[in-house]
Structure 1
């Protein structure tokens, strides 16, 4: 065998030393390939280890069903606030702000926490979500100026968070809505607002401006996560895209409740949706009424969620039942996505979705407790 190997080396024109070098190099290369292949799963997981552990720690502090039921059983909004003051996460903000504003601050802080925490490959969509605070503040500023609130009353409406808070605070004594929009020149929202300004001036309504901000946000959100290249980004794209579809559906449902036509609402819809593409959205906007919008969703993943509550809509005549059904759908969808990648982006999406639902539910409870004799059973039905 040794003689045959020596003959082969000689036939190749190699010395034994050179042949040994080639063998060693081959072993090193094969070893490197094996290491890369075996370590790839670890490299994929590594960026998510710290974020996952941090959101899991926070997830453990979310209210469970028993705690939420205890809050619902509160006799009034003061008791709700006292309950939350016993929870460190809410106590800090309640020391500085009234209940509703404290909840808004807590939500803004959550968006900011996730945006800073998310690994680079999925960070962009969460950064866009954190911009909700600035958008809501711009809306509040415009609305306050439209209804004639003074500077102090206007500032009370602003959430003291977001990258534009200081700039927006300086505009509370601006003379008009038009002056506010002019002052926002240089921000990322300037073009959307300026394009909608002629409609505002024509219709004397803030709806075109608010809808322009919503459309800008949804477009930015959807495009921040498109072309998903791996499973983590595919999951984020599904989470983000579902939110875009749901916001489009809510707008269409509200518009049909108000008897608006396709021409009235088409400019406010983000046409390049996720599952609901432009042609489907056009069909829905052309529907004569709310029930036809729901039936027009047959074959989509939103159909069952809305069809199940049609009897409630027929009884109440309010699209709020559909909006709640869509919120529940988003929460359940997020829960299913979270379970798909427990060592990746899953825990981040799971925590963010549950925290959003918790704050929405606390706002529902607080609003209900301000009304005399509002049934607790009815509150439970309204929760997400």
Structure 2
């Protein structure tokens, strides 16, 4: 009986059939997408003060969060906490009204917030931040419950946090690099291990059994390409020497095996390498200016490219997981854009500098 069940499950996973309430979820997501801020609103925020921005978001989709937090926070802190809490609420809502394999894929995708939260708690403990300070960076939008995150937060040391993750998909990966963390005095090996495990686990949940699933898988693989390219450019820019495995396996166009050799590659050879990929027009015009201008333009260009790709295929496959992913990506970007504007104004950055940091 067990053998038959295993064979049946294997056959079913190979068939181009997806379970899930796609019409309902996509309709709900479409309605939420209409609430996203337009570029005109960002331009208006650039001309406003922090108090005005807080008042404006409190009159729209962030009203509930602004009202709930208004007695405890103000200014830029209120804006950051309200947008953070709203993102967690909205993503959790979408997960809760999804069903079948659609729910599985959405859940695996949202587990990136578990990774975010583990990193936030580890960093906070490593830097001796207070539990309240650490909690303000946590975004409970993944699989971990608020109660479990609070349990991790109550741990006294980094080692205890790692042990607290026993039973999760991340524990074994963290244990494998534990000695490396102790020897280096850095959390970077932990953070790299978390990213590697997250993407390998996520890709397992997205078999290319249908055209929309294949495109979703390509979206995730392009995301991996983007992360790896950012890492590559950062290592080149800082002229750093790699002492560990920093690149993530599973990219779409740039194999992990090629990336290490691209670090010390002369610029003209790197440009030739990129010409064989769809990232050529995105990055090649910016490479020569990185030494002088830094990485901001290149990072922003990659993020825009990923957003455009997600949007394109969400319109081609309107009753699939792609519109959901497109919304998630755009909602994350909205929260980040609002944070950049608010934090930029708090730090007295010029309007032009803040505008250059936005991805619209």
TM-score of the pair, normalised by structure 2: 0.83
Equivalent residue in structure 2 for 1:359, among 326, 335, 345: 335
Whether 1:308 aligns to 2:281 is no
What aligned pairs does 1:1-384 form with structure 2 within 5 A after superposition?
47-75=21-49, 77-87=50-60, 89-97=61-69, 98-118=78-98, 120-162=100-142, 163-226=144-207, 228-261=208-241, 263-265=242-244, 267-287=245-265, 293=270, 295-310=272-287, 312-316=289-293, 318-372=294-348, 374-384=349-359
Aligned length: 334
Q: Is the CA contact (8 Å cut-off) linking 1:122 and 1:233 kept in structure 2?
A: no
SS at match of 1:342: coil
After alignment, is 155-164 or 235-244 more displaced?
A: 155-164
Looking at both structures, which has the greater relative contact order when contacts are Cα pairs under 8 Å and sequence separation is at least 6?
2
1:330 CA drift (Å): 0.4
Deviation at residue 55 of structure 1 after TM alignment: 1.1
| Separation in 2, partners of 1:371, 1:278 | 38
| Structure 1 residue 182, shift from structure 2 partner | 1.5
Residues of 2 paired with 1:233 and 1:209: CA distance?
Answer: 30
Root mean square deviation of aligned Cα: 2.6
Deviations 1:89-115 (A, max 9, x none): 211122334322322223333433343
- Cα 1:118–1:306 change in 2 (3 A) is farther
Contact 1:200–1:206 (8 Å) recurs in 2: yes
Structure 2 CA distance for partners of 1:166 and 1:264, relative to 1, 3 Å = same
CA distance in 1, matches of 2:164, 2:132: 19
- Runs of 4 or more, structure 1, over 6 Å off, are 43-46
Q: CA deviation at 1:288?
A: 6.4
CA distance in 2, matches of 1:229, 1:344: 13
Matched residues in 1 for 2:151 and 2:19: separation?
A: 44
- The answer to whether the 8 Å contact 1:305/1:326 transfers is yes
- Kept in 2, the 8 Å contact 1:103–1:359? The answer is yes
Q: How big is the shift at 1:272?
A: 3.0
Q: Deviations over 1:231-254 (max 9, x none)?
A: 221221122111111112222222
Q: Which runs of no fewer than 5 residues in structure 2 stay unpaired?
A: 1-16, 70-77
Q: 1:310 Cα deviation (Å)?
A: 3.1
Change (3 A) 1:319 1:337: same
Per-residue CA deviation, residues 265-291 of structure 1 (Å, 9 max, x unaligned), is: 4x12223322222333343245367x8
